[in-house]
Amino acid sequence: MSITKLSYSGLTALLLVLASTHVGAQNFRVQCPNGTALHKSLDGKVDSMIVGDLSRPTAANANPQIKCQHISGGDGFATMADGQQIYLFGFGALSGLADLNNGLPGTEVAKVFNGAFVGPVFPGDGTTPNNAAITEPALMMNNGVLSAQAPGPMMAIDEDDEFFLTLSNVGMIMRPDLFEQHTVHFHGYPNASSFFDGVPDASVAINIAGSFTYYYTAPDAGTYFWHCHITPPEHLQMGMVGQLFVRPRQNRLAPGENLYIALHDYLYPTVPISKRVAAHYPNVSFPPEDCKKDILCSTPLPGRDNGVVQIAGAKYAYNDGDGSTRYDVEYPIQMMGFDPNFHFIGMTFNPEPFADMKDKYFLLSGRGYPDTIGVPGYAGLPAASTNPLPGGAMTTAASDGVARESQVQPTLITINKTGGQTRALLRVSNLSVTEYHTLATVGVPMLVIGFHARLLRDTAGENLYYTTNSVTIGGGESADVILDVSMVPVGTYFLYTTQLDHLSNDAENFGGMMTEIHVL
């Protein structure tokens, strides 16, 4: 009997045998502490609880600066805008399902992550998931098998957080001959302890039926991305990429505080930390880096204090000190592409021709136009829809007949000008292994404020931002772009690639790397 003819229950039973057996001394185990030495739990105790260990009940006072996420590594399918299904190696979601299905990051505070999971026993059973982690092996297999997404689950943390990310390898079901290991590598991320860096030569790789919890701190704001580092040209092309961004400390300032003074106090602290800094950053219990001694500080102080103060509810892309990176809404966008021939060969037990790899599907966050703006029933689109997911997540039926969320994040950019919104932050990244990509606008200026997760500012504190109508980035690069519509009339505009062969889905003359900007 072929693997594609196994019943869903029979397939799950087969895989549970693997999940309950030590493979290379590994098994499924998920970690998310409620407190650490750096961020103590709010009841004053350090709780190193492991999810599923009933001897340690879930703490109600978990420190909110401990963030956690659980993902699966395996395979699955995604649907292109011309209706074709693409086979993936990819990451799936085992926590934060409710947020991810609404196009939000799946990273959760420890208190939510450690809660009781409510949701599907298996995909498509009609239940609505919450954001707690799936930690029971049977549920992990039921929900992790064939659940690859393009891109993988989105992650977002705040500066000074501690992030515990668990990867559980559920196996390549369509390729049972492959005993593929997987890792997570935070590309360009400054917290690069080799043990948690995901490069298998210098750290660890996760076997099938095994879990590993990566640990990161969050030192520098910016737009990053992540991917599997096992045979990267293959696994990145097959879909094992994801989005990641770090929010700045400046977001936590109290309304009315002077941004320049607050940043100055943080970067140039007295020892011990001054009472002023403690008031600005109540959750920081350690001396921050001293930028007077570190020429590699990612965000130098502005050249002068322009008197800008924190606006209630305002958000910033970086610790700018002058308010210049303020935005109202943000849209992470990952530029991607697939070679359908490479993916088909990858599913049919044949050698993959790396030298012939050439993308023919060009995508924004896993979708080609018009799917980039959502599916029917998504906000602003026709209401007639059979899609039950409020975030407009696309689903794809796998070989077992079950439809799973495959591309959960639309890239429709909505700026409600009449509601007071004028600035949208685009967090743009590219992890293509074959292509440079260009994104352009017509009628909406693009202000480029950051590149490679670094604010464009010189050592004298002068901003080096520039206004343009297009941005070109290569594989392994990211850019932060603000769309300012304060002088733009209400209407619909386009964000698209100027590379005309990228405005297509394989042989079809439509779709590709394009989305819409709705100024309301």
Mean pLDDT of 340-348: 88
Model pLDDT, residue 281: 55
d(CA 208, CA 211): 8
Element (H, E) at 63: none
At residue 246, does pLDDT exceed 70? yes
Mean pLDDT of 98-111: 92
Instruction: Calculate what percentage of the chain has a pLDDT beyond 90.
Output: 54
The CATH code that applies to domain 334-519 is: 2.60.40.420
Cis peptide before 57 (omega within 30 of 0): no
Q: Is 74 in contact with 225 (CB distance < 8 Å)?
A: no
Write b or e for each residue in 106-123: b if 16 or more Cβ atoms lie within 10 A of its Cβ, otherwise e.
Answer: bbbbbbbbbeebebbebb
Model pLDDT, residue 502: 92
Averaged pLDDT score across all residues of the chain: 84
- Tell me the pLDDT band of 499, cut-offs 50, 70 and 90: very high
Give tens-digit pLDDT for 294-333.
Answer: 655 678 889 889 999 999 989 999 999 999 999 999 999 9
Phi, psi of 149 (to 5 degrees): -120, 155
Nearest to 94 by CA among 68, 124, 69, 121: 69
- Tell me the pLDDT band of 376, cut-offs 50, 70 and 90: low
Residues of the chain with CATH 2.60.40.420: 3-247, 334-519
- Tell me the pLDDT band of 26, cut-offs 50, 70 and 90: low
Mean pLDDT of 156-176: 93
Q: Is 446 in contact with 481 (CB distance < 8 Å)?
A: yes
Q: How far is CA 194 from CA 49, 164, 190, 198, 499, in A?
A: 25, 16, 11, 8, 38
Lowest mean per-residue pLDDT among 81-90, 282-291, 352-361, 445-454: 282-291
Instruction: Calculate what percentage of the chain has a pLDDT beyond 70.
Output: 83
Q: What does 393-445 look like in DSSP terms, one character per residue?
A: -EEEE-TTS-EEEEE-----EEE-GGGT--EEEEEEEE--SS--EEEEESSS-
> What is the number of other CB atoms lying within 10 angstroms of the CB of residue 1?
7
Amino acid letter, 268: Y
* Bigger pLDDT: 113 vs 265: 113
Phi, psi of 492 (to 5 degrees): -110, 130
Fold type of domain 3-247: Immunoglobulin-like (2.60.40)
Give tens-digit pLDDT for 4-24.
Answer: 333 334 434 334 433 433 334
DSSP-based helix, strand, coil % in the chain, nearest 5: 15, 30, 55
Which residues lie below 8 Å from residue 263, measured CB to CB, with a gap of 6+?
A: 250, 301, 302, 319, 320, 321
Residue 475 in tokens: 């594989």
At residue 177, does pLDDT exceed 90? no
* Bigger pLDDT: 241 vs 51: 241
**Burial status of residue 61 (CB atoms within 10 A of its CB: 0-12, 13-18, 19 or more):** middle
Model pLDDT, residue 469: 95
Element (H, E) at 384: none
Mean pLDDT of 232-239: 90
Kindly state the DSSP code that residue 230 receives in the 8-state scheme. S
Write b or e for each residue in 436-462: b if 16 or more Cβ atoms lie within 10 A of its Cβ, otherwise e.
Answer: ebbbbbeebebbbbbbebbbbbeeeee
Model pLDDT, residue 293: 61
- Tell me the pLDDT band of 374, cut-offs 50, 70 and 90: confident
At residue 381, does pLDDT exceed 50? no
Model pLDDT, residue 346: 84
Mean pLDDT of 52-66: 70
